[in-house]
Amino acid sequence: MVLEEFDFTAIDNDSTLKKFAEKMSGTLGIERLKTHLAMIPDDMFTHFVKNATEVNARIALNYETKTAGSGALFYVETLPPETVFYSLLIANRPKGKRTEIGRSEESDLKNEEDVLKYLSNLLEPTNGTSAILQIGGEASTGKGICCVILHDGSNL
């Protein structure tokens, strides 16, 4: 396997990684994980994060004048479209009255379970597809779009 300028030799005796790839492939519905998931040493991963992440220089425009303002240069780091993140979703009991995310002043979110149920409903697949989110400030460039698959963690 070649990543950037490094050539790696696959060690095919890691049945734990194969089992994990099989489980994740079934959970996420991504068949390519069975054949394309790789584990690399921490120092190599650190190298790729520092040196192989796509970094683009951008300039913020003043929408009225269509010119760059002072200090408008900024950099955006993006990940390859094949990137898979796996994370935990943890909720705490709501504190105080909130009006964010479309909730009324008298919220019906009373405990952790209510919060998780609300988030699950927001991220519930529609029309047989996964929930789609845009994460980050790059909506105008089509970056940061990802699908979300909720899983209760059983059978992993």
Side-chain-side CA neighbours of 148 within 13 Å: the count stands at 19
Containing structural domain, residue 8: 1-52
Q: Is residue 7 part of a domain?
A: yes
Q: Is residue 60 part of a domain?
A: no
Q: Is residue 13 part of a domain?
A: yes
| CA–CA distance, 156 with 152 (Å, rounded to integer) | 9
Global pTM exceeds 0.75: no
Q: Is residue 20 part of a domain?
A: yes
Q: Is residue 93 part of a domain?
A: no
User: Above pLDDT 90, what percent of the chain?
Assistant: 3
Number of domains the chain contains: 1
Tens of pLDDT along 64-100? 888 887 788 888 888 887 788 777 778 888 776 655 5
